[in-house]
Amino acid sequence: MKTIVSGARPTGSLHLGNYAGAIANWLRLQETEHCYFFVANYHMLTTGFLDVSQLHENTGIVLAELLAMGVDPDKVTLFVQSDVREHAEFCMLLSMLTPVSWLERNPTYKDLMDNLDQPELRTAGFLNYPVLMAADILMYKADAVPVGQDQAPHLEITREIARRFNHLYDGVLREPQAIHISPVLMRGMDGRKMSKSYGNAISFQDTPETVREKIRLTVTDPARVRRNDPGNPDVCSVFDLHKVFNPDEAPEIRHLCQTAGIGCVECKKRVAEKIAAFHTPIHEKSRELLAHPARLADIAADGAKKAAAVAADTMAEVREAMNLGI
Ligand code: SF4
């Protein structure tokens, strides 16, 4: 059994793309591995510190949706990052030995430096967020971390920090390996990558009626003008949904689309049925959890207690290795 660590940022309600790209993988991992999954609310502050008015609510929403999707607190340690204060202490200690040059070569940071529209994000916290990520991972001595291609450089910094710590002090940290997640292309209603920030996502807080309406309005192959025109499913957002939520029928849909054997209205209806069957129970269960905040708080508290026990052990080792205390 491997120890796995992974977090989800509380950007607000999760959407179908989040499920397909990350959470579906969590559900698989929880069956066979020893998993720590957390709502990464400290990470949210690295870019969202100017407006924290929704942070508390969004943290609850993401936790409720993870539970509703099937993340099982009896199988995994599920917690909210800021409930385990050791993450902040560990991040601070790891910052002491992390060269700034490692952080400056992080592609996300370099992109930001090139983006003059967001000068307010040039904070120490943003520069340092790969160290916070390292603290999250190294805290639980993860064997492996699921990463998409864009997160691979961050994991490499985590590995470098672990190596440097172990070299400087008495090695107590474990270098995690990457579990590479195959990218899932899921475009949103407007044909761009599904993302909350583009406003094109189908989220789990959308009502079933809104979900149907969003699918009805989703762009298809723009070259398919008439019902008799053959389509190209590879450029169509609706076909992305078929691949994930209607995989058994996707090959048939591909063929029918390419031969003009199905119209886009019918094609959308077919996937909307499948998505409704998947989405509605998650929507309803998460609404029910959110209506009982004390229950949600208990689940978060139990998870934090389990995580904090492990974090306390790691920090005791770290403090001793760094000769802290008297
Ligand atoms: S038939 Fe379906 S897959 Fe083909 S373009 Fe229309 S909506 Fe997209």
pLDDT digits (tens, 9 = 90+) for 284-293: 999 999 999 9
Structure tokens at 318: 């770290």
Structure tokens at 6: 């992974």
Band of pLDDT at residue 109, cut at 50, 70 and 90: confident
> Under CATH, what is the fold of the domain 206-288?
Tyrosyl-Transfer RNA Synthetase (1.10.240)
Residue 218 alpha carbon to ligand 1 centre in Å: 10
Residue 121: what pLDDT? 79
Q: What is the DSSP letter of 75?
A: T
The residue with tokens 């949600």 is: 296
Residue 151: what pLDDT? 80
Q: Which of 186, 216, 220 to mutate to test the pocket of ligand 1 (most atoms within 8 A of CB)?
A: 220
227 closest CA partner among 272, 273, 267:
267
Q: Is 250 in the pocket of ligand 1 (CB under 6 A)?
A: no
Q: Is 215 in the pocket of ligand 1 (CB under 6 A)?
A: no
Q: Is 264 in the pocket of ligand 1 (CB under 6 A)?
A: yes
Q: Which of 236, 249, 255, 270 to mutate to test the pocket of ligand 1 (most atoms within 8 A of CB)?
A: 236
Structure tokens at 7: 């977090």
pLDDT per position as a tens digit, 198-249: 999 999 999 999 999 999 999 999 999 999 999 999 999 999 999 999 999 9
Structure tokens at 275: 């998505």
Q: For the beta carbon of residue 96, count every other beta carbon within 10 angstroms.
A: 10
Helix (H) or strand (E) holding 93: helix 86-95
Q: Which of 189, 227, 234, 238 to mutate to test the pocket of ligand 1 (most atoms within 8 A of CB)?
A: 238
Residue 264 alpha carbon to ligand 1 centre in Å: 5
Structure tokens at 190: 């407007």
Residue 87: what pLDDT? 98
CB 13 within 8 Å of CB 205: yes
Residue at 305: amino acid letter: K
Does the domain at 3-186+293-321 match CATH 3.40.50.620? Answer given as: yes
Average pLDDT, the chain: 94
- Point out the least confidently predicted range of 72-81, 108-117, 258-267: 108-117
Instruction: Examine the pLDDT at 295 and tell me if it is beyond 70.
Output: yes
Instruction: Examine the pLDDT at 146 and tell me if it is beyond 70.
Output: yes
DSSP E strand boundaries for 75-189: 77-80, 144-147, 177-180
Express the helix, strand and coil content of the chain in percent, nearest 5 each: 60, 10, 30
Instruction: Examine the pLDDT at 102 and tell me if it is beyond 80.
Output: yes
Return d(Cα 268, Cα 275) in angstroms, integer.
10
Residues 6+ apart with CB under 8 A from 101: none
Please report, for the chain, the start and end positions of each structural domain, with discontinuous segments joined by +: 3-186+293-321, 206-288
Instruction: Examine the pLDDT at 171 and tell me if it is beyond 90.
Output: no
Return d(Cα 148, Cα 106) in angstroms, integer.
15
Residue at 60: amino acid letter: G
Instruction: Examine the pLDDT at 91 and tell me if it is beyond 70.
Output: yes
Residue 116: what pLDDT? 58
Burial of 227 (0-12, 13-18, 19+ CB in 10 A): exposed
Residue 237 alpha carbon to ligand 1 centre in Å: 8
Structure tokens at 142: 């993860």
Question: Which is it for the CA torsion 180, 181, 182, 188, positive or negative?
Answer: negative
Instruction: Examine the pLDDT at 38 and tell me if it is beyond 90.
Output: yes
Q: Whose CA is nearest to atom 6 of ligand 1?
A: 264
The residue with tokens 């601070």 is: 92
Residue 304: what pLDDT? 98
This prediction has a pTM of: 0.94
Band of pLDDT at residue 142, cut at 50, 70 and 90: very high
70 closest CA partner among 201, 200, 204:
204
Q: Is 272 in the pocket of ligand 1 (CB under 6 A)?
A: no
Q: Which of 267, 269, 274, 275 to mutate to test the pocket of ligand 1 (most atoms within 8 A of CB)?
A: 267
Residue 224: what pLDDT? 94
Largest CA distance in the chain: 80
Report the atom number in ligand 1 closest to the C-alpha of 221: 5
CB 267 within 8 Å of CB 258: no
